[in-house]
A = this chain, B = another copy of it.
Amino acid sequence: MNCLDYRRMIVLTDGRLGPLTSKTAYSVIRYRPDDVVAVLDPQHAGQRLEDVMGWGEDIPIVASVEEALPLEPDSLLLGIAPVGGQLPDAWRRHIGSAIERGMGIISGLHVMLRDDEALAGLAREHGAELLDLRDPGPFDRVADGRAADLPVKRVLTIGTDCAIGKMVTALELTAAARRAGWDAAFVATGQTGIMIEGWGIAVDRVISDFAAGAAEWLCEQVADRQIAFIEGQGSITHPGYSGVSLSLLHGACPDALIICHQPGRTHHHGIEKTAASLTEHISLCEQLANTRHPCRVCGVALYTGDLSDADARAAIDATADQTSLPVADTVRFGCDPLIDALRQSLDLP
């Protein structure tokens, strides 16, 4: 089944429920609220989602798969990633309980559930499906820059760091573009995006020789749309992930970039050395993109979730002054400045 066919999901967060500690859970609850029947988090069980997350849907937090059974769940979605590569024992128990009830298991982990003999055997026994959404399959295409010639306008969200709003910005812009009357597609390049959109490729899991080829292929799938918002990954200056970021930039050959940033974030997550500034990122990304296809950074998407309204407005104004670009927090204040900029830059109605 496609992961969108599961419409009564339990989302596992196992003690890490929160806007910054369970990125996948947060996004799935935000963008598929009607398909989530419960959050599984023993540490927060019984609390209201809004009290833990800062916003909320009317979705109960439970302590076990058993407790959620009256809600008739059809699947368990792993909403967090383990520290290190291995599945914690507690997760195994939850996953096992779900499998024994025939529920599908939706995973975006690097470790493939189907390679886990115990879980795979249990799933066969109970006719439960294991969906390893991060697995790109045997993908072996080398990009040659042909995405530049596709009729669809390609907008890539890039960022100054990981976990800074690239997927959310692409989703919000897609929705806003549709409201503007454009035939817009969202292109998922990571496991959470795939959980929300139902298709895509986790480009960071593709063999590096073929990562740009994956981006190129994804763009071809939306070639006949008016505009596509392609979810970026990592950052062009991140020591671990910059290769993935550049593969997307050169595979997708975007016509426009929207850069995602958080005011005051001066370091990549977990990295000691100061990261390049927002303006340095803008300059570098434009130079790199233009080696393949004419492209401009058309706006900045700021994450201001940790600021007061007044501070958020001030940060937006300061960033606009600094970059001479339209700036928006798309979740908090809407997408209008960015949609207007794209309309002008891409000559859209």
Contacts and interface: CB of A to CB of B under 8 A. Distances in A.
Interface of A: 85, 110, 140, 142-145, 148, 203-209, 211-213, 236-247, 249-251, 253, 270-273, 275-276, 280, 284, 287-288, 291-292
Contacts of A204: 207-209
Contacts of A110: 140, 209
Contacts of A291: 237, 275-276, 280, 284
Given A237-B292, A243-B244, A246-B242, A271 B144 contact: yes
When all copies of this chain in the complex are counted, the total is 2
Contacts of A142: 240-241
B237 A242 contact: no
A309 B240 CA distance: 43
A148 B273 contact: yes
A48 B80 CA distance: 62
A109 to B, nearest CB: 12
Contact of A273 (B143, B145, B209, B276): B145
Nearest to A85: B140
Contacts of A238: 250
Nearest to A273: B145
18 contacts: A110-B209, A142-B241, A143-B240, A144-B239, A145-B239, A145-B272, A145-B273, A206-B208, A212-B239, A212-B240, A212-B241, A236-B288, A238-B250, A240-B250, A243-B250, A276-B291, A280-B291, A284-B287
Q: Which 10 A-B residue pairs are closest in the complex by CB-CB distance?
A: A243-B247, A145-B239, A243-B243, A142-B240, A204-B209, A237-B291, A208-B208, A208-B211, A143-B240, A246-B246
